[in-house]
Amino acid sequence: MTILEIANISKSFGSVIANRDISLHLEQGEILALLGENGAGKTTLMNILFGQYTADQGTIHAFGQLLTGKSTDAALKAGIGMVHQHFTLADNMTVLENVMLGTESLMALRSNTSAARQKIESICQQMGLQINLDSKVADLVIGERQRVEILKALFRDAKILILDEPTAVLTPQEVDGLFDMLRLMQKSGLSVIIISHKLQEVLAISQRIVVLRHGRVVGETLTAKVDRDQLAEMIVGRQIQRPKVETIQAGSDVLRLANIKVAGADQRLRLNDVNLTVKEHQIIGVAGVSGNGQSDLANLLSGISTLQNGEFTISGVNCEKASVKQLTALQVARIPEDRHSAGIVGDMSVWENLLLEDLGKSPCWKGGFFMSTAKAHQRAKALIDQFDIRCASMHMPAKLLSGGNIQKLILARNFLLNPKFILANQPVRGLDEGAISFVHQQLIDAKNNGSGVLLISEDLDELLRLSDFIQVMHNGQLSKPYAAAQLTSRILGILMSGGELSDDALSESGADEINDITSSTSSDNKEGVNHAV
C-alpha cells in the first residue's frame, strides 16, 4: 500500500535549483534508499518532506492526506520523523528526558514521566531497541545516541522514518545492530527512507532505490536487480574506475611522534603515550570510533594544539611548539575533518580560498605584501581546471560549493605545496562515489610521488583499501600498527571497541576473525589498547 506520494516537487535557492519536478512514492513497510551525488538535492527534498523547507511547487500526500503544514510539527503530526546525520541531543540530560523533550505543554504543572517511560519501554521491546532510559546521553557511545534519536521519532508516533547518513560514524557491529533494528521496524509496518553514500550498505538494507542527479530523478530500480558498480554508474552518470594502490618501498621518516601526551582544558589527558611514524611513500591509517582522540591528534599535527610531553618531528625538525605557519613552511598539508568550518572561509570567494596556504609567496605576491590579482586569478583558474572544481565562477562565495567541490578546493590549495606530509582527516566523509574516487586518487598519487600520508577515517573500507598499515585509536591511545592486508572491517570494529588482537591471530590470507580476538574485561583493558610502535 502506498503511504507517501511526492509529486512534481521543485525548490530553488536564488539562482540555484535544488529540486526539479521530483516525483516518488513510498510503500508501507518498505526501506527506500535515496541516492545521488553531493548537491543532487537529496537532503533538500527530505527537508521539504519534514517541513524544514517549503517547496516552490508540487504536492505531498501522506496516508492519503495532503500535507499543507510548513513546519516540522506538521510533519510529525502526519507521522513523519527524521534523524539527521548530526545528532541534536542534550548531553546533560537522561535518555528519557531527551525523548520527552518538546512533547509536553510548557503550561503543564508536572511532567508525566511514568506514562512516557511505559510507552518508550513498549517501543523498545517492539522494535528491538536496547538502551538504559536513565543513562546520561553524555555517557552513551555513538550507536546508542543514534538509538535515542530514533526513539525520539518513534515516541512521536512516526510511521515514516527518514535517516540521513545513519551509518557515517558507526562501527561495523553498530551498523549490524542498526540494520537488525530497521528490519524489525519494517516488519511492524514502519517505512524508512535512507540517504547514504555507502553503496554496500544500501544494497544490504533497502528494497528499492531512487537516484537523483542535478536535482532530478534519473533512475529507479529494485535493489535486487543492481550491483555496486551499476549503482555507482547510475549516481555519477559514467563508469567509475576505482584507483589502484601499489606497494612501494617506504623511505625516510616524515612524521614521528614518540610518547605523546596532550591534555584538554580540563587537564584530562586526550592523548596518552601515543607513538606514530609515517614514512615517505606510505599511507598510515588511523581507525577509531568518533571521540576517542582522533580530533586531538589532528589538532596537534595541524599546529592548533600543543603537546604536554613527548617528541614531535617533521622530516627530523622539532615541531613541539610549531605554529600553523611553521608547519606549512615544512610542507605539511592539512585536509580538515570539518571542511566547511575549518577548511574554507565561506564568505570569501573561491579564488581567495585557493590562496590561503600560499599567502605572501611569489608569484601571486610581490615582496610578501602586495598581491597581483591578475596572477592570483591565473593560478586559481589553473587549479580549478586541474582539480575539476565545479563552480559558476571563481568569484562566487566558497560556501556555495557542494561538499565534493569544497574538498577539491582544499586538495588543490594544499597539494600546490608539493607536501612532504599530508594529514587527511575524514577526507571523503559525505562525498559521492565520483568525488571519493577523485580524492583517493590524489592521495595515492601523493604517496607515489614520495609524500607520507596519515589517513584518519571512520570509513573502514577506505582505510583497508588505501592504507599500508592501520593503527586503532581508543580512549586517547594508539595501538601498534597492523598490516592492512591482514585485517578485515569486522576485526577493526572490535579493536575500535577496545578489544585486543593476539599476535598469532593474523594469517597471510587475511585475519581469522573474531575467535582470535578477546574483548577487554579488566579495568586496565577498559582504558584501551596501548601498544608502543
CATH code, domain with 293: 3.40.50.300
Q: Does one domain contain both 441 and 532?
A: yes
Q: For residue 337, is it within any domain?
A: no
Q: Looking at residue 504, what is its pLDDT?
A: 58
CA distance 473 to 361: 37
Q: What torsion, rounded to 10 degrees, do the Cα atoms 325, 474, 344, 232 define?
A: 130
Query: Residues 54-61: what's their mean pLDDT?
Result: 94
Residue reference for cell 540530560? 93
Q: For residue 373, is it within any domain?
A: yes
**Contact assessment for residue 179 and residue 204, using Cβ atoms and an 8 Å cutoff:** yes
Q: What torsion, rounded to 10 degrees, do the Cα atoms 504, 509, 511, 513 define?
A: -110
Q: Looking at residue 521, what is its pLDDT?
A: 29
Query: Residues 101-123: what's their mean pLDDT?
Result: 82
Question: What residues contact residue 373 under an 8 Å CB cut-off, 6+ apart?
Answer: none
Q: Looking at residue 108, what is its pLDDT?
A: 63
Q: Does one domain contain both 48 and 121?
A: yes
Q: 392, 415, 438 — which closes off a domain?
A: 415
Q: For residue 339, is it within any domain?
A: no
Lowest model confidence (mean pLDDT) among 32-36, 58-62, 152-156, 493-497: 493-497
Q: Is residue 509 scored above 50 in pLDDT?
A: no
Q: Does one domain contain both 120 and 265?
A: no
Q: Is residue 143 scored above 70 in pLDDT?
A: yes
Residue reference for cell 586517547? 476
Q: Is residue 210 scored above 70 in pLDDT?
A: yes
Q: Does one domain contain both 146 and 203?
A: yes
Q: For residue 508, is it within any domain?
A: yes
Give percent of the chain above pLDDT 90. 47
Q: Looking at residue 470, what is its pLDDT?
A: 96
Q: Does one domain contain both 325 and 350?
A: no
Q: For residue 142, is it within any domain?
A: yes
Between the ranges 233-247, 284-298, 390-404, 490-504, where is the mean pLDDT highest? 284-298
Q: For residue 338, is it within any domain?
A: no
Kindly report the backbone phi and psi dihedral angles of residue 417, in degrees, each rounded to the nearest multiple of 5, phi listed first. Answer: -80, -5
Q: Looking at residue 112, what is its pLDDT?
A: 82
Q: Is residue 476 scored above 70 in pLDDT?
A: yes
3-state helix, strand, coil in the chain (%, to 5): 35, 25, 40
Q: Looking at residue 421, what is its pLDDT?
A: 96
Task: Domain of residue 268: give its range.
Answer: 242-331+418-533
| pLDDT band (50, 70, 90) for residue 282 | very high
Q: Looking at residue 59, what is its pLDDT?
A: 95
Using left for φ > 0, alpha for ψ between -120 and 50, and beta otherwise, residue 137 falls in alpha
Query: Residues 180-201: what's their mean pLDDT?
Result: 91
Q: For residue 441, is it within any domain?
A: yes
Alpha-carbon torsion (22, 23, 28, 31), positive or negative: negative
Q: Does one domain contain both 354 and 408?
A: yes
Structure-model confidence comparison of residues 69 and 102, the more confident one: 102
Query: Residues 353-369: what's their mean pLDDT?
Result: 73
Q: Looking at residue 505, what is its pLDDT?
A: 56
Q: Is residue 142 scored above 80 in pLDDT?
A: no
Q: Looking at residue 506, what is its pLDDT?
A: 54
| pLDDT band (50, 70, 90) for residue 527 | very low
Q: Which among 266, 352, 338, 252 has a CA at the least distance from the CA of 299?
A: 338
Q: Does one domain contain both 19 and 134?
A: yes
Lowest model confidence (mean pLDDT) among 37-46, 280-289, 348-357, 492-501: 492-501
Lowest model confidence (mean pLDDT) among 113-117, 137-141, 437-441, 515-519: 515-519
3-state secondary structure 476-496: CEECCCEEHHHCCHHHHHHHH
Q: Which among 110, 103, 47 has a CA at the least distance from the CA of 77?
A: 103
Q: Which among 287, 276, 285, 282 has a CA at the least distance from the CA of 247?
A: 282
- Angstrom CA distances, 243 to 226, 465, 468, 470, stand at 22, 10, 15, 19
Q: Is residue 517 scored above 60 in pLDDT?
A: no
**Contact assessment for residue 259 and residue 273, using Cβ atoms and an 8 Å cutoff:** yes
Q: Does one domain contain both 134 and 260?
A: no
Q: Is residue 147 scored above 70 in pLDDT?
A: yes
For 2-52, the pLDDT digits (tens) are 999 999 999 998 877 899 999 999 999 999 999 998 778 898 999 999 999
CA distance 442 to 452: 13
pTM: 0.71
Compute the mean pLDDT over every residue in the chain, rounded to the nearest whole number.
Answer: 85
Q: Does one domain contain both 220 and 297?
A: no
Listing DSSP states for 321-340 in one string gives T--HHHHHHTTEEEE-S-TT
Domain count of the chain?
Answer: 3
Length of the chain: 533
Q: Looking at residue 493, what is its pLDDT?
A: 81
CA distance 253 to 275: 13
Q: Does one domain contain both 499 and 514?
A: yes
Q: 236, 267, 291 — which closes off a domain?
A: 236
Beta bridge partners of 123: none
Q: Does one domain contain both 25 and 135?
A: yes
Question: Residue type for 335, please?
Answer: I
Q: 221, 236, 251 — which closes off a domain?
A: 236
Quote the cell numbers at residue 356.
Answer: 590561503
Query: Roughly how many angstroms between the first and final C-alpha of the chain, as a whole number?
Result: 58
Q: For residue 336, is it within any domain?
A: no
Q: Looking at residue 507, what is its pLDDT?
A: 47
Kindly report the backbone phi and psi dihedral angles of residue 97, in degrees, each rounded to the nearest multiple of 5, phi listed first. Answer: -65, -40
Q: Looking at residue 109, what is its pLDDT?
A: 62
**Residue 80: CA count within 13 A, CB half-sphere:** 26
Neighbours of 323 (CB within 10 A): 12
CA distance 257 to 268: 20
Q: Is residue 263 scored above 70 in pLDDT?
A: yes
Structure-model confidence comparison of residues 429 and 194, the more confident one: 194
Kindly report the backbone phi and psi dihedral angles of residue 31, in degrees, each rounded to the nearest multiple of 5, phi listed first. Answer: -105, 110
Alpha-carbon torsion (322, 325, 327, 333), positive or negative: positive
Q: Does one domain contain both 188 and 75?
A: yes
| CA angle (520 as vertex; 518, 521 as ends), nearest 5 | 115
Lowest model confidence (mean pLDDT) among 51-55, 239-243, 382-386, 505-509: 505-509
